Structure 1
Amino acid sequence: MSQRIVSPCVGLCSTTVGDSVCRGCQRHDVEIHDWMTMSSEQRECRIQELDAMRVEVATRFLCVVDAQCLEDQLKRYRVRFRDAQPALSRVVELLRVGRDRIQDLSRYGIALEPSAPDDPQQLYVALGQALAEAGERRRRGEPDARSCERLEDERLEDSAI
């Protein structure tokens, strides 16, 4: 029996055109190359890092005011997401596939920060640029990049509370 390998891949990898960090899934080229050889724990850790990065970046632009509404709309429009995926990371997926059709973000349980572009296409461009920059910092291992070790430390601190 085979086990499905979870991947954040969105099906269009910009590393094939020379990017060192994929614009779709925000993994860097080495991670993409090594993904199939990683243990399930290593892959899960990388997915958690990517989710944490997306949440950190997306918080600058928007907030989820109704997570159930967001989930219902994702299901309605068949936008792929993971059960354990944070709501703000899910918004990145929603904007990736629906930015051309979305008229009113509040119908998805989303509110914009005052400085964020109010047009979903422009919002996605700004979010994409910020994610690309964060992904590049993560690739280089800069201090603000959340590593698996930092995530594990945070989990231990949370469980001690």
Structure 2
Amino acid sequence: MASNRSGMQRIQSPCVGLCSTTVGDRVCRGCQRTDEEIRDWFALDADSRTQRMLALDTLRARVASRFLHVDDPACLEAQLVRHRIRFRADQPALSRAVELLRVGRTRMQDLSRYGLRRHASVAHLAPDALYAALNEALMQEASLRLTTAPTDPPV
């Protein structure tokens, strides 16, 4: 039996399995969606989901660019595959880097082996501290979306 009958597409989600909205956060620390976006995700049409995922990738890349530079996108992708970290083909490299740090921050030593380079302002930070700083900045920016993120699913 075909897994994709009638041209139906699998619904993509930015969920990374680390939902902090269940413990009261208004913005998820894992995927940076608002609690309303998470609640309404499957009611959104494909175009709306695609636009939201693009907005989240843009947010991650913008914030990550303050901390990191991707020197070798192919190396980064190879490491994501090697460590079985989920990513999308259309996902920007800096958004992918956020996922790599989230998953591997306690085991990584030399970021250049992953195609990444720290900015000079954070060169002294170990990968776990780098991720903590990046994630804090990401959550601050993501929280701003509470006032601008659409909250009603399409009818």
1:121 and 2:118 matched: no
Equivalent position SS for 1:63: strand
Matched, 1:132 2:143: no
Distance 1:118 1:80 in 2: 25
State the distance in 2 between where 1:66 and 1:114 align. 18
Using the alignment, how far apart are the partners of 1:134 and 1:50 within structure 2? 11
1:109 aligns with 2:88: no
Q: Mark the runs of 5 or more structure 2 residues left unpaired by the alignment.
A: 151-155
Per the alignment, residue 26 of structure 1 pairs with 32
Alignment of 1:26-45 (within 5 A): 26-45=32-51
> What's the Cα RMSD here?
1.4
1:10 and 2:16 are equivalent in the alignment: yes
Deviation digits for residues 32-90 of structure 1 (CA, Å, limit 9, x no counterpart): 00000000000000000000000110000011010001011111111110000000000
One-letter amino acid matched to 2:126: D
Q: TM-score, normalised by structure 2?
A: 0.89
Whole-Å Cα distance in 2 between the matches of residues 135 and 51 of structure 1? 11
Q: Write the distance in 2 (CA, Å) between the matches of 1:113 and 1:68.
A: 20
Moved over 6 A (4+): none
Q: Distance in 1 between matches of 2:112 and 2:147?
A: 36
Count of matched residue positions in the alignment of Structure 1 and Structure 2: 143
Once residues 12 and 61 of structure 1 are traced to their aligned partners in structure 2, the CA distance between those partners, rounded to angstroms, is 22
TM-score, normalized by length of structure 1?
Answer: 0.85
SS for the counterpart of 2:69 is strand
User: Any unmatched runs of 5+ in structure 1?
Assistant: 148-161
Give distance in 1, aligned partners of 2:18 and 2:75.
Answer: 28
Q: 1:78 corresponds to which letter in structure 2? A: R
What amino acid maps onto 1:120 in structure 2? P
Q: Tell me the residue number matched to 1:82.
A: 88
Counterpart of 2:18, as a letter, is: L
Separation of aligned partners in 2, 1:67 and 1:122? 23
Q: Deviations over 1:95-140 (max 9, x none)?
A: 1110010111000010110112530000110011011001101222
Q: Structure 1: how far apart are the matches of 2:26 and 2:109?
A: 33
Query: How far, CA to CA, are the matches of 1:96 and 1:131 in structure 2?
Result: 12
